[in-house]
Structure formats: C-alpha cells, structure tokens
Amino acid sequence: MRGQLHARSSPTAGTSRKRVADEFLADERVSLFATKSFWEGFDAKGDTLRCVVIPRLPFGQINDPVLEERKERDRAWWAHYYLPEAILELKQAAGRLIRSSTDEGCLVLADARLVGGKSYAGRFLEALPVRDIERLGVEEVVEEIERRFGR
C-alpha cells in the first residue's frame, strides 16, 4: 500500500458518477476518493472495496433551510432530528463496505469527536454493524490495513 497509489484520470465536471464507479469496480487496485454521493446506491462486492474512510461525522449543514424550520418548531431539534439523521448517514456510508457474507473490510472514522468525550459518540459507534472497534493513530491504521489485506 505504501508508495503505491493506482489512479485513473480524475473526474471533471462532465464525468458521470456511473463512469467513475464503473472504472473503480473494473480494477481492484484503484483507490477511489469519493464524495457523499457514493454513500447510497453504490455496490462494490468482493475485493474491490476494502476500506472506507470517513473523515468527519456526517452532520448536515447547520444553516440548511429545512433544519432552520425544524429548529423553530422543536426545541429538542438536535436530539430529535439532527443527531439521528447523522447516525443514519454514517450507517449508510459504513454499509458500502460489507455487501455480501464473504466481504471484509476496514472502516476508518477519523473524527476526533468520537474519542474526545462527546456525549453522543457512543450513539454513533453503537449504530455500526461491527463490534471490533479500535482506537488507532494514523500510522497504526495504515499498518492494520496492510496487515489485513496485504496491500
């Protein structure tokens, strides 16, 4: 894995999501750095997808007009809507990794709020479909991925 990053031409404004997905699925050596649009409707069974990295918890935009309206109607908007919506988004993203009974992979959550004592951190972790959760530094994450997948 170190020193090797197989890449295709980066998508431009006119490149379709389907084309990017098809190129990724065609070559298991290729790394895909994707946006949130790949969190739904993307199926990569087998060896193609081995690691999903989520750099930050998927809280929505705080100034979203729909959220603004919910804030006005519900004093507990954060607990009733904002947090559950973010947890659902995380579950959706994590679900890209394991698509069949034989799939395996690493889910890397790189948001410090998960280990920084935030009261909601446990709710995110409990929502994940795995229980083998480790706290690792960046170098340890790379070593663990190399150990598990030999890449």
Record the tokens describing residue 52, joined without a space. Answer: 């999903």
119-151 pLDDT, tens digit each: 999 999 999 877 678 888 888 988 888 887 775
Q: Where are the domains of the chain?
A: 49-149
**pLDDT value of residue 22:** 81
Mean per-residue pLDDT for 29-49?
Answer: 72
Contacts of 135 (CB under 8 A, 6+ apart): 115
Q: Give ∠ CA 61-75-115 in degrees, rounded to 5.
A: 55
DSSP 30: B
Mean per-residue pLDDT for 85-111?
Answer: 84
Residue pair 87/121 in contact (Cβ under 8 Å)? The answer is no
- Across the chain, where does the E strand assignment appear? 51-54, 106-109
CATH assignment, 49-149: 3.40.50.300
Residue type, 39: W
**pLDDT value of residue 124:** 94
22-36 pLDDT, tens digit each: 877 787 777 777 767
**pLDDT value of residue 1:** 46
- List the end-to-end C-alpha distance of the chain, in Å, as a whole number: 5
Q: How far apart (Å, rounded) are the C-alpha atoms in residues 150 and 125?
A: 27
In the chain, what's the furthest Cα-to-Cα distance? 52
Residue pair 110/90 in contact (Cβ under 8 Å)? The answer is no
**pLDDT value of residue 3:** 52
pTM of the predicted model, to two decimals? 0.76
Q: Given the structure tokens 């690493």, which residue do they identify?
A: 106
Say whether pLDDT at 13 is over 90.
no
% of the chain with per-residue pLDDT over 90: 27
Q: Looking at per-residue confidence, does 27 or 64 come out higher? A: 64
